[in-house]
Structure 1
Amino acid sequence: MLSGVAVIAVTYGLARYGYGLYLPQFRAAFGLSAGTAGAIAAGSYVGYCGAAVVAGGLVGAGRARQALWAAGGSAALGSLVVAIAWNGTSLAAGALIAGSGAGAATPALVAAVAGTVPLSDQPRAQGVVNGGTGAGVVSGGLLVLSMPEAWRWSWVGFAVVALVVTAWADRHTRWGSVPQAPSGRGVRGAPGHVRPLGRPLVAALLAGAGCAGVWTFARDLLTADGGLSSAVTGLLWCLLGAAGLLGGLSGVLVRRVGLRAAWRSTVVAAAAGTALLGALPGAVIPAALALACFGSAFVALSGVLLAWGTERTPAAAAAAVAVLFIGLTVGQAVGSVALGMVTEAAGAPTAFLAASALLVIAATGAERRSRESAGGAV
């Protein structure tokens, strides 16, 4: 579990969401407009989707270990490209490759937990591992605080750590006992897996589009519109990540209140945090509350999606989770582009309010009557 948390921390919290953390520096270094910044973020999300498809196929073929190394290797390579980027195009290439690592990490770690952790402890373990995003976000915020202008060296560090934690997770996983998906096809057998995932997939798409506001533009909003200093925004980013650690308890939440209530509560909380941040970006206390609310809610809602996919297709859990996380990421890609355009046309606060509205709509996608309430367990 600890090594899995570390892999998620690097691939998600640093290599993927580090783009939004360092967006003010990137815009200053390469003269990026809000629209271009959103398009680059969308590219990293597209890379995520492609990697998730490939990794799902590897897991389905019993090659989850290769999927894990694809995750760590992509995060490391992409981070190095970002570190040496010389213009917007090279930055976009690095962000795309770095973001791909996260796409491969989730299917690999779902299989790793399934093969290593006792069955009764797997829901809790999956939730804890998924909460590693928060640890990575905190680490990124601390780097900004300690070395605000040394962003190139920070990304070199991301690359090194990605390889180290991947080796750690590989060493502590029982790969030989990881079962293959019955179809043997993973995500490549997606049509059979997607049919029972219709409702959660639509909900994931909408939630992803709404969450793109904070992950892509939050620090830029706080700096440009809110007028907050680099030190303050770095601390706020740490708070965002620390709150995300609480989202690792999503497995407990699902068992206590059911999938429907868990999904609605986490998505509405993310919407509230997004709206508050857009309304008061220059007020430190409201901004802190907003980011804490969003950070814990986002990690929790992604954990609920994990449980939702597993509950819908228990015989192909890794493939189902990959499909839903791809849906979440496609939503983030579309949301990044659309919200970047709204920012240029009407300002960042308006874009954040639009993002909040998308999240409220996503909350309505919850099951009317979740299956576990009828007698099954998640």
Structure 2
Amino acid sequence: MFEKKLIVVGLPMIAVTYGLSRFSYGLMLPYINETMNMAQSTSGVISSLSYIAYCIAIVLSMVFSNRVSSKSILVIAGLSSIMGLGIISISFNPAVLGLGIFLAGLSTGFSSPPYANIVELNVETRLQNQTNSWINSGTSVGTAFTGAVAILMTDSWRETYFIFMVIAIFVLIANYKVLPKNQPLKEKVIVGFSREEWRRATPLILASLLLGISCSAYWTFSRDFMFQIENVPLYLGEWLWVIIGIAGLLGGTAGVFVNKYGLMPAYRISVLALSTSSLLLGTFADYIIVGWLSPALFGSSYIFMTGVLIVWGISVFKSNPSFGLGIPFLILALGQAIGSIVSGVIADISGYHDLFTGASIIGYVALVFKQKNTKIS
């Protein structure tokens, strides 16, 4: 029964750290730009700070997983989210905004790996994939919530981020009360992985990098693009994040799908759908139906894809699930950091149509990678 309690507190924490703290920037960007009048390249660089912070935090989270309890790391995640959201809400120039985005981005890297360890220690094996996938789907809940709040608050982005900060405080308190206090620390240091494990992880690492680069354009610029398309109703731009978030709840089924049909079928379906969502936006954005179909595909496939990467990573590094989750997420975020910067430059030079079409091609290339002799346990 503990897996249900873990999902009840873990899903909201992921919703706060990923949805509210990290991906909300793309949602709020049109309103922030009205206040700060930033160039698209500047917006891309600021977006990349979130991913860079994520990379730093997830490395620290993995390295210290054998020295600091999972609960303590999650407390750090909650505190960095609270501080980052608070700074964003009072930011008055791009530099201060960037600082807030960076601190909020740290929370995402600190939040994911500890849950993998807690799940391994407290949830029976047959339910671990599903539990990890459902906790991971908190990204969708957070994304849908940020979209709904943005609609209600219109362009009051500072007040919106203040509300997010208050929510983050309550979620941190809930996790502090529910999560196990005395979890054993792993004695194994993260340096003892075999050459065979790294060999089997190579396709996973390359796939994660390309997928991170591919999806970064969507997270950062899709909503801004929707607002600029004359033939698309304004309400589609306003509801874009809600559509992405609600559709993303389907991604919580990734663990069940993998258990029933296998890892590679799940991977290929998610990558095809994810890449197609960008292709539709880049080539057929003028059609209203695409304004619904593209974000629905993106939301469901992104969460599904990250759930698949969790299962893939843990199956490769079976001796340390925190590391197995952290590696693909680290590389995914590295790709997103690179992609955010490049996306801003491409948007400035060639426009959004070329940006999203190019992003889809990079995603399709990731289909060439496959699992190497790893059994899902």
- TM-score scaled by length of structure 1: 0.93
Contact 1:48 1:102 (8 Å CA) reproduced: yes
Deviations 1:204-240 (A, max 9, x none): 0000000101111110110124565654322221010
Contact 1:47 1:100 (8 Å CA) reproduced: yes
Which residue of structure 2 aligns with residue 197 of structure 1? 201
1:147 aligns with 2:118: no
Contact 2:232 2:291 (8 Å CA) reproduced: no
Distance 2:347 2:65 in 1: 39
Which residue of structure 2 aligns with residue 211 of structure 1? 215
Instruction: Give the secondary-structure state (helix, strand or coil) at the position aligned to 1:315.
Output: coil
1:371 aligns with 2:377: no
Instruction: Give the secondary-structure state (helix, strand or coil) at the position aligned to 1:180.
Output: coil
Unmatched runs of 5 consecutive residues or more in structure 2: 1-6
Which residue of structure 2 aligns with residue 129 of structure 1? 135
1:350 aligns with 2:357: no
Tell me how far 1:73 sits from its aligned partner.
Answer: 0.9
Label 1:168 to 1:115 Cα distance change in 2 as closer, same or farther (>3 A).
Answer: farther
- TM-score scaled by length of structure 2: 0.93
Greater alpha carbon shift after TM alignment, 124-133 vs 250-259: 250-259
One-letter amino acid of the structure 2 residue matched with residue 127 of structure 1? S
Total equivalences in the alignment: 370
One-letter amino acid of the structure 2 residue matched with residue 126 of structure 1? N
Distance 2:366 2:186 in 1: 30
Distance 1:119 1:39 in 2: 41
1:240 aligns with 2:270: no
Contact 2:248 2:300 (8 Å CA) reproduced: yes
Q: Among residues 81, 88, 91, which one is paired with 1:85 in the alignment?
A: 91
Which residue of structure 1 aligns with residue 57 of structure 2? 51
Deviations 1:24-45 (A, max 9, x none): 0122211111111111111110
One-letter amino acid of the structure 2 residue matched with residue 271 of structure 1? S
Tell me how far 1:182 sits from its aligned partner.
Answer: 4.7
Deviations 1:42-86 (A, max 9, x none): 111000111111122232224211110111111111111110010
One-letter amino acid of the structure 1 residue matched with residue 337 of structure 2? A
Which residue of structure 2 aligns with residue 168 of structure 1? 174
One-letter amino acid of the structure 1 residue matched with residue 134 of structure 2? V
Deviations 1:141-184 (A, max 9, x none): 1011101111111111111211211221232222424x43452x
Instruction: Give the secondary-structure state (helix, strand or coil) at the position aligned to 1:281.
Output: coil
Instruction: Give the secondary-structure state (helix, strand or coil) at the position aligned to 1:86.
Output: coil
1:74 aligns with 2:76: no
Deviations 1:115-158 (A, max 9, x none): 33233211110010001100001100101110111111111111
Greater alpha carbon shift after TM alignment, 235-244 vs 165-174: 165-174
RMSD, matched Cα: 1.8
Which residue of structure 1 aligns with residue 25 of structure 2? 19
Tell me how far 1:311 sits from its aligned partner.
Answer: 0.5
Identity %: 29
Greater alpha carbon shift after TM alignment, 6-15 vs 231-240: 231-240
Greater alpha carbon shift after TM alignment, 32-41 vs 195-204: 195-204
Q: Among residues 163, 176, 185, which one is paired with 1:180 in the alignment?
A: 185
Instruction: Give the secondary-structure state (helix, strand or coil) at the position aligned to 1:17.
Output: helix
Which residue of structure 2 aligns with residue 2 of structure 1? 8
Unmatched runs of 5 consecutive residues or more in structure 1: none
